Structure 1
Amino acid sequence: MLTGTLVSAATAQSQAALDAVDARKMSIPTARAAFQKGGYPGSALTVRQTLAPGSNYTRQVVSYQSEGLRIGALLTVPRGTPPKGGWPAIVFNHGYVPPNVYRTTERYVAYQDAFARAGFVTLKSDYRGHGSSQGEALGGYYAPGYTTDVLNALSSLKRDPRVNRARIGMWGHSMGGFLSLRAMVIDPTVKAGVIWAGVVGDYDQLMNSWTRRAPVPSSIPQRVLNLRKQAVARYGTPRANPAFWNTLSANTYLRDLGGPVQLHIGTRDEDVPVAFHTALAGQLRPLGKLGGNYVYPGDNHNLSGNLRTALNRSVQFFKDRL
């Protein structure tokens, strides 16, 4: 039986898992081919724990399958009679939280609540190695596991009879923005996305332009940080081998998005440079894929000073697009 604290079922990063990491597995074309062949099937959502309900929606800890792993998630479902075809839904993709302290029912609850109250089914995944999820936490940038978990979460929502599979969007914060953009170019059935403070640069930007006001979190193991060095040693830098690195970057495939993306960031973001946001907005605009471009003067990585405004804009965007 699960408890409110959810003891982690994940293991620390094993040397075998680290040795098996190959940046080539981040290839967008490879993931697309797998998607087209049904390679991210998800599963039925299994209820693990029923939580206190929200104002007009239910809350449950659930799980689904991803590459044979049991992945935990927080599910909200509106009360009442669903619209014809089912409720619209949003896949929530959280940012970096130290895996050993991550809890399904902590952080991001206020964000998820705003969309749940507005009549959306929401599903926030605990990526592998987080909370009660099985597997190993190897980061999102050089190993494909988190992307795979997001795509299987999406497929699991599509299988749920309460959800309108033609009305699904994605919301991502920080690293979750990186995962959302990747998932959206892999699966163009996602109709709209919202990214807050997203790590949305290409790999040249990630390696050479990622300046931070705050230090790299000490909770990120050095052996995970070393995956970047391992990738460069094998494939060269993005500038020396752009053909390879471009196939790994969602930014290369933006014209294939199935819908627009709305962007939000604060100018005093301590973790993600505004330049990532600005560059992506500039790429999306001529493609007709920019669903809004909001820069909040003086605000931080969590948009704490403009939280209600950013949430209202995000909710309205999904109401208009889904």
Structure 2
Amino acid sequence: MRLLSKARLAVCLLLTAAVGCTDGGDDNAAPSPSPSTSAAATSAPPPSPSPTAEPPNPVSIPGLAAREHTGSDLRLGEVRDRTDAYTQYAVTYRANGLTISGLMNIPTGRGPFPALVLAHGYIDPEVYTTGRGLAREQDLLARNGYIVLHSDYRNHAGSDDDPDNEVNLRLGYTEDVIGAVLALRASDRTEIDDERIGLLGRSMGGGVVYNALVAAPGLVDAAVVFAPVSSRPEENLDHYQRGEPLVDEIEAKHGSPEDNPEFWREASAATYADRATEPLLIHHGTADETCPIRWSRHMVAALEKAGKDVELRTYEGEGHTFYGQWPRSMEVTMDFFERHLR
């Protein structure tokens, strides 16, 4: 794919106008079944609606696509770790008016380096700490020459609060990841190659990546997801949270899938698979009981039907946490990013 400059990114987004799973508290634990100051802000203008069109529901993929996303003010804070291969910093950035915290690994040596934004799986915000989840990936990718920005998301760690995020299907996390990419592009830090940026998500974060790809085509150059949740949020509710008070609150506001199927159709990334423009690699274990592999097969089918560049790698007998076959999956991942970001 040809890489996009900042200016072309905005033009591309103008023209081309979720809930779930867990990293288990850290990368090696069993998943829980319940759910320097930058340059001026970079923004992604929304598509222009036709004069007679009603504005889309903000809690939907069309609503995300229509929003003028902003990302800016990437700030490096204290050094959290220093290795022979990279330095890790606490960071904050602005995304659609909220301050979001996270961690960033910057490789040792001369840049600019390609960058990856990481979207972690579900970890209870009450116990979450900055940078938790995807620790293996953060380390390995930085050691292989990538700047790695791990977003905490809103309502996590030092990020601002969004009291409506849960009832609105956690779509705010997608805004935070889009904002992270835009903040990298807006930064004046010379280590960052703002024309080579990718996404990597795990579990719930895989769903976040799906949403970003269809809501903001042209935003990045490639994406990888591991053991993703369903692209259809009603399946995630049924699998993880059915019977909890939150589900009653969600359905009281938006209607149940039976009563308001249009809302749930518009909240699904699979519905808008034709909008995706970037190559996508999906890793999934055949023995994953937390996020069943059929969910990935459904999303792949939707993308293939739309003629998109998608690959599903399956791992026989592998569960949700990718223990035994994780090294092999990361070799495939780095080869994929090498092709599309180098």
What's the TM-score, normalizing by structure 1? 0.79
Contact 2:230 2:291 (C-alpha < 8 Å) held by counterparts: no
Among all aligned residue pairs of Structure 1 and Structure 2, give the percentage whose two residues are the same amino acid: 31
The letter of the residue matching 2:185 is K
Q: Which runs of 5+ in 1 are unaligned?
A: 1-22, 211-215
Shift of 1:144: 2.7
Q: Distance in 2 between matches of 1:158 and 1:292?
A: 27
* Residues 95 and 174, structure 1, Cα contact 8 Å, conserved in 2: yes
RMSD: 2.5
How far has the Cα of 1:70 moved from its partner?
Answer: 2.0
1:221–1:132 Cα change, 3 Å: farther
* Among candidates 150, 154, 176, match of residue 149 of structure 1: 176
Unaligned runs of 5+ in 2: 1-55
Matched, 1:111 2:147: no
Q: 8 Å contact 1:92–1:122 — kept in the other structure?
A: yes
Q: 1:3 maps to which residue? A: none
- More displaced 10-residue stretch of structure 1: 140-149 or 247-256: 140-149
Question: Aligned partners of 1:132, 1:224: CA distance in 2, in Å?
Answer: 24
Give me the TM-score of the superposition, normalised by structure 2. 0.75
Residue 225 of structure 2 aligns with which residue? 195
CA contact (8 A) 1:260 1:288 kept: no
- Asked if the contact 2:105/2:147 (under 8 Å) is kept, the reply is yes
Taking the TM superposition and a 5 Å limit, the aligned residue runs for 1:176-215 are: 176-189=205-218, 190-207=220-237, 210=239
Whether 1:235 aligns to 2:255 is yes
1:26 and 1:143 in contact (8 A); partners too: no
Q: Structure 2 counterpart of 1:90, which letter?
A: L
Distance verdict in 2 for CA 1:140–1:229, change over 3 Å: closer
- For the 8 Å contact 2:119–2:205, the answer to whether it is kept is yes
Per-residue CA deviation, residues 49-73 of structure 1 (Å, 9 max, x unaligned), is: 1122233222101001234332111
CA distance in 2, matches of 1:235, 1:229: 4
**Corresponding residue for residue 258 of structure 1:** 277
Are positions 1:31 and 2:60 aligned together? Answer: no
Task: Answer whether contact 1:114 1:315 (CA < 8 A) is retained.
Answer: no
Shift of the alpha carbon at 1:207?
5.0
1:187-207 superposed Cα distances (whole Å, 9 cap, x missing partner): 212221111110133245445
Which residue among 81, 87, 95 is the counterpart of 1:58? 87
C-alpha contact (below 8 Å) 1:24/1:248 kept by paired residues: no
Give runs of aligned pairs for residues 116-131 of structure 1, distance below 5 A: 116-131=142-157
Number of aligned positions between the proteins: 282
Q: 1:221 to 1:108 in 2, by over 3 A?
A: farther
Question: How far does residue 141 in structure 1 lie from its aligned partner after superposition?
Answer: 6.4
Q: Distance in 1 between matches of 2:170 and 2:152?
A: 16
Partner SS for 2:125: coil
More deviation, 306-315/42-51:
42-51
Partner secondary structure for residue 142 of structure 1: coil
